[in-house]
Chain A
Amino acid sequence: MSTREKNSGENVGGRIELLQGTLDLLILKTLVFGEQHGQGIARAIQRSSGDVLLVDHGSLYPALQRLEAKGWIVAEWGVSENNRKARFYKLTPSGRGQLVREADQWRRLVQAMGRVLGPEET
């Protein structure tokens, strides 16, 4: 009951679990390159982060639902490259706008964090 969501920043074999809220941004970013199904999105995030970010497949879907409900993405059933039936997600114009806003915010946050933390500690 109380362990449905894993949101800790705990290290699992050198991989970092996602911070709350960042998954939405990553999904939107991934979809910039074209429509994709859930499993593809999870893989793409892992791959493009150099296997650092670990996506809990279970929590991917609530995030997708959330984005769909807000009208930032739309979904449609289609067929994958290897001929499997899958539900494909696509970015909407308002989703694109949201991505720009959120990415900008995120970059500013990272910069600010960097300034506060300073050079790497030994």
Chain B
Amino acid sequence: MFGKKKRECDDFDEEIKAHIQLEADQLVKEGMNPREAESAARRAFGNVTSSRERFYESGRWISLDHLKVDIRYALRRIRKSPVWSATVILSLALGIGFNTAIFSLTDQALLRALPVREPERLVLLDWNGSFVGGAYGSEHLLPHLFYRDLRKENDVFEDVFARFPTEVQLKTDGESEPVEAEIVSGSYFPTLGVRSAVGRLLGDEDDLQPDAHPVAVLSFDYWKNRLAGDPKIVGKRVLLNNYPMTVVGVAEQGFHGVEWSRAPAIWVPVMMKRVATPTWDALQDRRTRWLNVFGRLKPGVSPEEAKTRLQPWFKAYLQADTQREGWPQTTPVQMREYMASALDLLPGAAGYSFMRRMMRQPMMVLLAATALILLLACLNVANLSLAKAFAAQRATALRAALGASRRRILTEQLVESSLLAAAGCLSGVMLAPIVIRVVLSFLPQQGSASMALKSNPDLRVLLFALTITGLATLLSGAAPALYAASIQPLNALKQQSNAVAGGLVLRKALVVGQFALASILLIGAGLFARTLANFRAQGPGFPTTNLLMARVDAAASGFKAAESKPLIKRLLTEIRSTPEVESAGVGQSELLTGGGWNNPVTVQSTEKFVTENMAMNAISPGFFEAIGAPVIRGRDFNERDSTEDTKWSLQSAIVNEEFVKRYFKDADPLGARVGIGSVPSIVPDIEIVGVVKTFQDFGLRTPAPEIFFPLWQRDVSGGAFYIRTHGSSQAAASSIRAAVRRTDPDLSALTFRTVDDQLDRLLIIERMLGILAGIFAAVATFLAMIGLYGVLSFSAASRVKEIGVRLALGASRWEAGGMIIREAAVLAVAGLAIALPASWALGRLIESQLFGVRPMDILTIISAGGILTLVCLVASAVPARKAALVSPLEALKGD
């Protein structure tokens, strides 16, 4: 039947004609006179036109026919009111664009699974309980030998692999530069199921003997971008921390390692760890945990089942561990807690990312904010469409009266809003990459590369954009469509056009909704702005202007441990003698990076107690002076603390005021002793010799206790120089570079950064939230203003008569204009009134992102109110002027 040719309408007409003819013939035969028979036959047939219509509409192509007409008609209507259409498209584009952009980022940062074989079968192992020993890294860490044992002895995993992220100096062709590296076990690539783009990847054959496998795999992006996709890369030598390694291959495109935000440029076998991390070696040490261990579950084994089946093995491992040589002396409590540890399996499909955890809440906040914008845009479009539907009311009524079916009118409305939505969607999708680039511009360049974030939308994101466009169309098209269909032809035609004020209530409600949403976003933006301002006002506790940080890594430049310390000392002297430099000091770890060196400390004062992990740093004499944090009690370190023969036995320490407050209740701490570590065998033999004013080291949120050791008593492989310059730090940078070259030309690894810049980096999330929330609030306010303007214009026009009467009765022109402004104020206040409880509820969700400001901050609310007042005045200016200039005579004469 599908092959059959569609019957022509003419053919059908012919059949009907024949039918009536035959019926008439019959009637004549039954004795009716021919003329009557003809009309009787017609009567019996009924409505011929309606029959033909039904025939026509049953056709397969008819709906397409209609659609073509509808689209042409809708396009004409869109073109006829360009400002109106542009406003609708702009509203939708803003709503969809922001949503798509933030969704795309959220998707890439938080949601997406690793691009590997069956990622859902991956789990991340986690030591749940207390570990006896130390750690390098952030979370979910396990010792290397634990990984070896697990791999040999488990029966739930197809295979397991281990990895550790670190930064290395990599020299391929030109200059040596710091890049991200991932130290991986030989099972890493096979277990993940990643393929190579060129050459081969690492395997078990690269994982046999420590220091015996100088091979590496490059990431696709590094190979393409830095080496221009060199086809002869396999077999090439590269210098990793100045150690020659042979490139054996390039990993496939799109694979960025298993930690989002730390995309490696190079993969190094775990056996070459000493090369990648020259300052520490924990390969054979069961008391140091540093590796993330992932497992690929055997098919059909659930994570719960695997966990249950692993526990006996884990208990046996714990037992065996305590019997091993080198097991430290522990308290019964520590022993009990160690033995009570369990092995947890965390979902590993998306890999692991510390940054992701940091980003989760801010991204959710932004996603929620964009959802509010989309809702606001929908209200705006609904409002605009209603306005248009009112304007077109008579035309619609006329068409209905002439026989257009309700369905046809609805369809037309829907086609028009779909076309506008499509245009909005398209513009939104084009806007999204721009928004993403704005967001990415907050990230430090190296950081954004390591996050491998893309600004161009992919299929998932396009699908998302389409979905929200559909939702937006339904939301914004429903009210006008229903309105159009509900028009009673008779009433609409009877009424005078400018007296039709019905529906204005609905439009006002929409504007109130818009103002409520805009208020919420304004208050949110205000809170984030204040948070950022508070962070900046508080600062790190020392003056940051003209303070430069230069990080030198002697080990990564290939210097032996014994050469490093004299080199760093010489460099410090050289820098101090540079004319632009006021003062300088060097510390082991950089300040304000969001993390750092920490360890439990045993404090011995009047009583003995053990701290939780505490921030610590090792510094040179003069460090506090350089950064501008005064020593307020006792003394700074001096050359006496620097005798080199006391290596590893730290004898003096300086603590900060917060430490004194926490552990000495402000009593005099000088002369008290501390020890690093928490096991009972620790002897507190380090004397507190000074107290320094508290400044922020890791982060800015809370002042934390911190303890400082003399740098020169430790192994020094590099350091962070803090240099106070006379003039601008940037200007001094070149003389300092020269000083570095003078000291030793081989010292290439050097990162320069002003402390102000470092603060910006530390405040990435806060800045991003502050600025994006500000943009969102501005857009929301703008949309609400358009909505208000539209309603006020309409309202002013429909109140002309009333205004005329009032003017005639003696009202002043100011009062006439005031009527409109009052109307605006009522709507805005209603919006704000709805927004307050809503933002109180939402404020709790963002509380953890705030600093120094409560969610219901009165100053913020007043500012938001002020902005809304301004918006009201702007939106009502033109309509109010029109109202004021109404001529009473004309108004009363009209109609």
Contact = CB atoms under 8 A, between A and B. Distances in A.
Interface string A29-49: 000000001111001000000
B23 A1 contact: no
Nearest to A38: B19
Nearest to A69: B1
Given A39-B22, A84-B22, A1 B405 contact: yes
Contact of A58 (B12, B26, B51, B58): B51
Nearest to B1: A71
A65 B56 CA distance: 11
B22 A58 contact: no
Interface string A1-18: 100100000000000000
Interface in B747-766: none
Given A61-B55, A62-B54, A62-B55, A84 B46 contact: no
Contact of B46 (A37, A43, A56, A65): A56
Nearest to A82: B25
A87 B90 CA distance: 57
A82 B26 CA distance: 10
A86 interface: yes
A61 B1 contact: no
A62 B44 CA distance: 16
Q: Which of B16, B18, B50, B55 has the most CB of A within 10 A?
A: B18
A61 B18 contact: no
Given A43-B26, A57-B45, A57-B46, A62 B19 contact: no
Contact of A84 (B12, B25, B47, B405): B25
A108 interface: no
Given A57-B44, A58-B46, A86 B55 contact: no
Contacts of A40: 22
Contacts of B406: 1
B894 interface: no
A26 to B, nearest CB: 17
Nearest to B408: A1
A99 B698 CA distance: 86
A85 B54 contact: no
Nearest to B12: A61
Contacts of B48: 58
Interface string B405-428: 110000000000000000000000
Contacts of B19: 37-39, 57, 86
Give the size range of A's interface with the partner. Answer: 20 to 34
- Contact-size category for B: 20 to 34
Contacts of A58: 45-48, 50-51
A98 interface: no
Nearest to B29: A82
A59 B111 CA distance: 58
B16 A1 contact: no
A43 B55 CA distance: 22
A80 interface: yes
Interface in B1-53: 1, 12, 14-16, 18-19, 21-23, 25-26, 44-48, 50-51
Contacts of A84: 18, 21-22, 25
B403 interface: yes
A56 B405 CA distance: 23
B58 A62 contact: yes
Contact of B50 (A4, A37, A70, A85): A4
Contacts of A65: 55, 58
B54 A57 contact: no
Interface string A70-96: 110000000010101111000000000
A70 B19 CA distance: 23
Contacts of A80: 22
Contacts of A57: 19, 23, 44-46
In this complex, the member of A4, A61, A71 whose beta carbon has the largest number of chain B beta carbons within 10 angstroms is A61
A57 B46 CA distance: 7
A4 B22 contact: no
A104 B277 CA distance: 87
Nearest to B54: A62
Nearest to B16: A61
B121 to A, nearest CB: 51
The secondary-structure label for the interface of chain B is: helix
A39 B41 CA distance: 10
Contacts of A4: 47, 50, 54
Interface string B39-79: 00000111110110011001000000000000000000000
A70 B18 contact: no
Interface in B257-291: none
Q: Which of A39, A43, A80 has the most CB of B within 10 A?
A: A39
A63 to B, nearest CB: 11
Contact of B15 (A38, A43, A71): A38
Contacts of A85: 14, 18
Nearest to A58: B46
A107 B405 CA distance: 39
A57 B16 CA distance: 10
Contact of B18 (A1, A37, A59): A37
Contacts of B18: 37, 39, 84-87
A55 to B, nearest CB: 9
A47 to B, nearest CB: 11
Contacts of A39: 18-19, 22-23, 26
A65 B6 CA distance: 11
Nearest to B404: A1
Nearest to B15: A87
A27 B819 CA distance: 71
Nearest to A80: B22
B51 A61 contact: yes
Contacts of A43: 26
Given A58-B47, A70-B1, A37 B22 contact: yes
A85 B25 CA distance: 13
A1 B55 CA distance: 15
A40 B23 CA distance: 8
Nearest to A39: B22
A31 B93 CA distance: 60
Interface in B390-409: 403, 405-406
Contacts of A56: 46
Contacts of A86: 15, 18-19, 22
A43 B46 CA distance: 15
Nearest to A4: B50
Contacts of A38: 15, 19
Contacts of B47: 4, 58
A40 B25 CA distance: 12
Closest 4 CB pairs of A and B: A58-B46, A39-B22, A57-B45, A39-B19
Given A57-B19, A61-B12, 19 more contacts: A4-B50, A38-B15, A38-B19, A39-B18, A39-B23, A57-B45, A61-B15, A61-B54, A61-B55, A65-B55, A82-B22, A84-B18, A84-B22, A86-B15, A86-B18, A86-B22, A87-B14, A87-B15, A87-B18
27 contacts: A1-B405, A1-B406, A38-B15, A38-B19, A39-B18, A39-B19, A56-B46, A57-B23, A57-B44, A57-B45, A57-B46, A59-B46, A61-B16, A61-B55, A62-B54, A62-B55, A62-B58, A65-B55, A80-B22, A82-B22, A84-B18, A84-B22, A85-B14, A86-B15, A86-B18, A86-B22, A87-B14
Interface of B: 1, 12, 14-16, 18-19, 21-23, 25-26, 44-48, 50-51, 54-55, 58, 403, 405-406
